[in-house]
Structure 1
Amino acid sequence: MEHVFSQSDLEAIAKALGDTSEGLTGSEIGNILASLKMTDPDPVLTKWRRLYNAFVTRQNYSQNRRAILEFIRQAMKPARYVKNPERFEARRSNLNLALSFSGLAVDVSGNIISIKKAHTLSEAARRAEELQTNLRTRGVHPDVLRFCRAELVADNYFHAVLEVTKSIADKLRSKTGLSDDGADLVDKALAGNSPLLSINSLTTKSEKSEQSGFANLIKGTFGMFRNPTAHEARILWTMSKEDAEDLLTLASLIHRRLDNARL
């Protein structure tokens, strides 16, 4: 008898692929289902429920999980993420947590590989709790703590760091209305004689130097951490707990100063 996914496995996979912020778009879901000739019984439902119903329908019909695995392969083809490699890693992280209970994972090339089957999240939960405790002792900003979750520290601290550095750019865009990213975003928001955001009154030479230094601090954070973590293969980036705590503390400082910045 061929392998099939359990109901809970299918739900977890559907939720990972249909995640509101990091999942596939509705049109992407429809296109992949159509290309694999999989029935799309409820296209008007939320994304994850739509996927779940499609997966259940196909698996019940075929009595195997081959079509669902092929859907995952199609969804995780690296070529889909050339313009947005960060989304590949975020989506892969969520998906691998779901697949781990079936003894499967998606590697950095988008292939499905066999791994040791997971039975509990206790280790990941312990790591997340320990990280949160240490960071709370440092008085770290809540916008940083919310990324210290079990699914983001399941194997190391890479994804927590990635998501926090992305959140800095998100806050800059939210406060300014800009749509840029990276150094361009920082320059337009914080640099120059009349920045969109200021962390002080910009009256004295010292205040202007502080503003310039803050902008460079964010650009340095993006350059040293966000760009490598977003573009290098996951397996090549090792992030220790100590390094993660230091970076997350730095991100906390940036978040706090941005909260108090004036337009």
Structure 2
Amino acid sequence: MAKKTFAPIDSGTLEGLAKILGHTDHGLTGTELSKFIPEGGLIDLDASNTKWKRLYNSFADFQNRTNTSNHILRFINISIRPTRFIGQNEKFEFIRGELNKQLSFIGLQLNESGIFNPVEISKTISEAEIRVNRFKSKLTYRNIHPKIYEYCNSELIAENYFHSVFEAVKSIAEEIRKKTDLTLDGSELIDKAFSVNTPLLKINSLETETEKSEQKGFSNLIKGVFGMFRNTTAHAPKVVWTVSEDEALDIMTTISLIHKKLDKSVN
């Protein structure tokens, strides 16, 4: 069977791929480039250049000579093979996600096994972003509070629902401590911060019985979230306590509501 020939990649996408793979912080090292460029069937034209430019020049040279992108894709396969990232799943998923944003513009996606799958070509940046990370895009659609992204962005990128929930719930206690200067945790923190008689934080004026009930209800809501989600994820292994995408979305929406209430609370 004849080997499939892949069309050349446009220069903008090619540059984007090179910048991801040659990124100073999360990309390949210079030593790795020296190993994988020839292994991928490319020519290392300028080993003294910056990493991404070194890669881009190798990519562009191959396309100019062959009018195909086969060995560029082979380079990605070799350098981002999953077995190289054992114990570094978060890094692997981050790089894979960033690469897939670029690859979606040429109708390809690198799956978690390190194999290219055909996908519908993205026409816009937002379309590429949404396709790569469905979970994060669904949170954005729900207008989730930005604190959630601040505390668990890497988990969201990897679509790790279990640890996303754990980190998001922990963000509630941390924000309460910041607003009150308390060093407590769990129920003690909540009782002290949202006491009806001597509150450190108030979500309303506490002048009527209805407002006092709302304060108590909010306090109990946070305790319930801690008990059901934070304590469970802290003590139960992921294989025992599973979190589906739909469940994670609902939990995150509840946590977002709590953060929005905290924003409006007064000392």
TM-score scaled to structure 1, two decimals?
Answer: 0.57
The CA deviation at 1:18 is 2.4
Aligned to 1:141: 147
The yes-or-no answer on 1:33 pairing with 2:31 is: no
Aligned to 1:193: none
Aligned to 1:24, what secondary structure does the other structure show?
coil
Aligned to 1:40, what secondary structure does the other structure show?
coil
The CA deviation at 1:24 is 2.0
Distance 1:244 1:19 in 2: 32
Distance 1:70 1:224 in 2: 40
The CA deviation at 1:101 is 0.8
Larger Rg: 2
The CA deviation at 1:50 is 2.1
Give CA deviations for 1:202-226 in whole Å, capped at 9, x if unaligned: 7xxx57xx9xx99xx878557779x
Aligned to 2:103: 99
Residue segments in structure 2 that go unaligned for 5+ positions in a row? 131-135, 168-180, 193-222, 260-267
Aligned to 1:120: 124
The yes-or-no answer on 1:12 pairing with 2:11 is: no
Distance 1:10 1:100 in 2: 12
Distance 1:222 1:46 in 2: 43
The CA deviation at 1:142 is 7.9
2:64 to 60, 67, 70: 60
Aligned to 1:239: 245
Distance 2:23 2:244 in 1: 26
1:42 to 29, 32, 46: 46
The CA deviation at 1:145 is 8.2
Q: Against the structure 1 CA distance between its residues 69 and 47, is the aligned structure 2 distance closer, same or farther, given a 3 Å change threshold?
A: same
Residue segments in structure 1 that go unaligned for 5+ positions in a row? 169-198, 255-263
Q: How many residues align?
A: 205
The CA deviation at 1:51 is 1.4
Give CA deviations for 1:75-99 in whole Å, capped at 9, x if unaligned: 2222112222222222111111111
The CA deviation at 1:250 is 5.1
Q: Against the structure 1 CA distance between its residues 9 and 245, is the aligned structure 2 distance closer, same or farther, given a 3 Å change threshold?
A: farther
Give CA deviations for 1:182-201 in whole Å, capped at 9, x if unaligned: xxxxxxxxxxxxxxxxx855
Distance 1:224 1:248 in 2: 22
Question: In the TM superposition, what are the counterparts of 1:58-207 in structure 2 within 5 Å?
Answer: 58-123=62-127, 128=137, 131=140, 134-136=143-145, 140-141=146-147, 144=150, 147=153, 158-159=156-157, 162=160, 165=164, 200=182, 206=188
The CA deviation at 1:252 is 11
Aligned to 1:113, what secondary structure does the other structure show?
strand
Distance 1:83 1:125 in 2: 26
Backbone CA RMSD of aligned residues: 4.9
Q: Against the structure 1 CA distance between its residues 125 and 58, is the aligned structure 2 distance closer, same or farther, given a 3 Å change threshold?
A: closer
Distance 2:25 2:236 in 1: 25
Distance 1:252 1:20 in 2: 37
TM-score scaled to structure 2, two decimals?
Answer: 0.56
Q: Against the structure 1 CA distance between its residues 239 and 55, is the aligned structure 2 distance closer, same or farther, given a 3 Å change threshold?
A: same
Q: Which amino acid aligns with 1:89?
A: E
The CA deviation at 1:8 is 1.2
Native 8 Å contact 1:77 1:110 kept in 2: yes
Quote the sequence identity (%). 28
Native 8 Å contact 1:59 1:65 kept in 2: yes
Aligned to 2:198: none
Distance 2:92 2:105 in 1: 21
Q: Against the structure 1 CA distance between its residues 79 and 125, is the aligned structure 2 distance closer, same or farther, given a 3 Å change threshold?
A: closer
Q: Against the structure 1 CA distance between its residues 93 and 143, is the aligned structure 2 distance closer, same or farther, given a 3 Å change threshold?
A: closer
